[in-house]
Amino acid sequence: MLVHVLLYDAGGDSEGIHSLELAGSTVVLMFENRDDAERYAGLLEAQDFPVPNIEAIDREEIEIFCRQAGYEARLVESGFVPTTDEERLLLAPPSANRDVSGWEDEAGGQSSQPVEQTDELEEFRRRLENLL
């Protein structure tokens, strides 16, 4: 079965796969439906995240990769309807992402510096937007 994953610098020297941190685990999303993967990539782009390539890869190959890397692979099936906050992250990325400005240079493909997002900053942003 082919699934769709989000890759950065696909085929390049610093290729990376999009992942989430959920409950202390690194989760790689596998989308059954390409349209769902494209929508998710668009949501990442809207958050100024680097735009990933959507690649169709054999599900077993991704699951083997995840096991070897210590990641968890999660399938987002066509028509998936989330029932928990955690499951909602399988359809829409979190509002705060890690800073990936140096991901190509780091061993795991991810930066270890989280994006600074505080409630105070968000409140200030909302007040400024209301002025417009």
3-state secondary structure of 98: strand
Closest CA relative to residue 20, chosen from 38, 42, 44: 44
In 3D space, the residue among 20, 19, 16 whose CA is nearest the CA of residue 105 turns out to be: 16
pLDDT at 12 over 90: no
Distance CA 105, CA 90 (A): 27
- Do strands 16-17 and 2-8 pair parallel, antiparallel, or not at all (unpaired)? antiparallel
| Percent of the chain's residues with pLDDT above 90 | 35
What phi and psi, each to the nearest 5 degrees, are found at residue 14?
A: -115, 40
Range 80-99 average pLDDT: 69
The more confidently predicted of residues 12 and 2 is 2
The two structure tokens encoding residue 3: 């699934």
Q: What is the mean pLDDT of residues 40-60?
A: 90
- The overall average pLDDT reported for the chain is 78
pTM of the model: 0.67
